[in-house]
Structures are given as structure tokens and as C-alpha cells.
Amino acid sequence: MKKGFSYVDVSISVGIFLVALIIAFVLIKPAIKQENISTILLPVVRYGFENATFWTIYRHPIFLSSSYNSQATYEIEVPFNYNSKNVNLTDINMDYIPFSYESGTSQRPTFNVSILALIISSSKTTYYLLYSDDYNYEYQTSIFQSDVSYTLYTYNFGVREEIKGISTDKFKKLSSYEDLKKQFKFPSNNDFSISLYDTLNRNLILSYSYATPAKDKAVYSLQYTSFILYENSTRMPVLVAINVW
């Protein structure tokens, strides 16, 4: 009799275990899918967004000094040959200044920049030469090479900086929603949105959103700090908010 009861007990226990296993599978399986949305799709959108909107400016500090107080045009030989359309010049305040540009040749892989500057004796005046493959700068008022100063002066270059950030122009020109999904390799049956906010007051700056989640749809979010990079190489911190569902 005891053996009979033991057999029944085992059968009941196995049955309860199988029922519990089925219930657990039914409940847990959707959770695994939802987990994939947050752990896989959020990084997918972030990578695609940054790849589509980031751009780079190379900034070369130039330190110019003279033996005398003088306002004149100073010619500087730059030891690399950039395309003139991708070059601009700013002062230490990142304001654009007039300059002239002379391209190099295959025999002379350098170019000359002429700056109209006011130099104070025994001090260095700082300028920044900007270069980017991603942007065509519009020339400021140019100066004539014939104005080049014969005053004794020296110059040297600082360490080149590589500055990256979000281009608002690229953001505004993002592809249509379905095309961007394909570009990001994002699942067609899921959706996303991307927004930029200022970090001080959380005011919306730019947004890319072409779908609205249903009320019963779980929405997963990623927020992180990045930078908008402007043409003069200054940057503004922004909060990037990515939603997927």
C-alpha cells in the first residue's frame, strides 16, 4: 500500500512540475523577447544614429609672434595640403577671420595661409586652422598676398585636435523612416525615436520620430550625454534620448 501511495505521489509531483514548467515557459518567453528589445535594439539605434550624424573637425592651433607691435599680413606655411574648400580659420574666440589660401603642389605638399593680424611684441597670438572632410566652408573676406609683412615674426603649430560631435545639418537630413530602418538594420516590426535636449533646461532641440507606440506597448529608453559640434569647432552638450518599442 505504501508503494502505491509513493507511485501516486511521484506521478502527482511530476505532473505539477510539468505544469509549472509550461507556465514558466509561457510567461518567461515573452520576457526574453522584451529583454532583446532593450539590450539589442537600443545599441543598434545608437550606433546607427551616431554613424549617420557624427562628423569630425581637425583643429590645428597656430601660435604667431612678432618682434614688434604691428598690424600686418603674416604668411604661414602649413605642413600638409588640404582642399581649400574644407579649410577655415578662427581666432582664439572661435570667430572667423579673413585669410588667403595658396594650395600646394605634388612637388610641394604644403599650402600657405596669410593672416591679417595685430601682433603685440613679446606675446603670442593664437589662431585655429580648421579642416573637415564633412563640410565645405564659405570663405570669409580674403586678403591679398601682396600685403604680406616683412616684419620679423615666428610661428609654430600646436598639437592637432580631432573633435567629433553631432552635425545638426546631418540630423535634419536623415533618410526617410523606412530607409533609415534599413540603414540601421533595424527590425521592420519594431519602431524607434531619437530626440536631442539641452542639458540645462531639457528643452527639445531636434527630434526624429515617425511612429507612436500603442498604449499597451512597452517602451524602452536610453539616455546619454553627447555633443553638437558646430562649424567653428565649438561644442554644446546635449542629452540624447532614444526610445524603442
How much is the pTM? Answer: 0.76
| Ranges of each domain in the chain | 33-54+166-244, 56-163
Of the candidate CATH numbers 2.20.28, 1.10.287, 2.60.40, 3.90.320, the domain formed by 56-163 belongs to 2.60.40
Confidence class of residue 144 from pLDDT cuts 50, 70 and 90? very low
Beta bridge partners of 60: 129
Provide the 3-class DSSP secondary structure of residue 27.
Answer: helix
Beta bridge partners of 75: 114
Q: 37 and 245 in contact (C-beta within 8 Å)?
A: yes
- pLDDT at res. 154: 87
Query: For 64-97, what is each residue's pLDDT tens digit?
Result: 988 777 777 888 888 777 877 888 999 999 999 8
Q: What percent of the chain has pLDDT over 70?
A: 77
Query: For 145-188, what is each residue's pLDDT tens digit?
Result: 444 455 678 889 999 999 999 999 999 999 999 999 999 999 98
pLDDT over 90 at 44, yes or no = yes
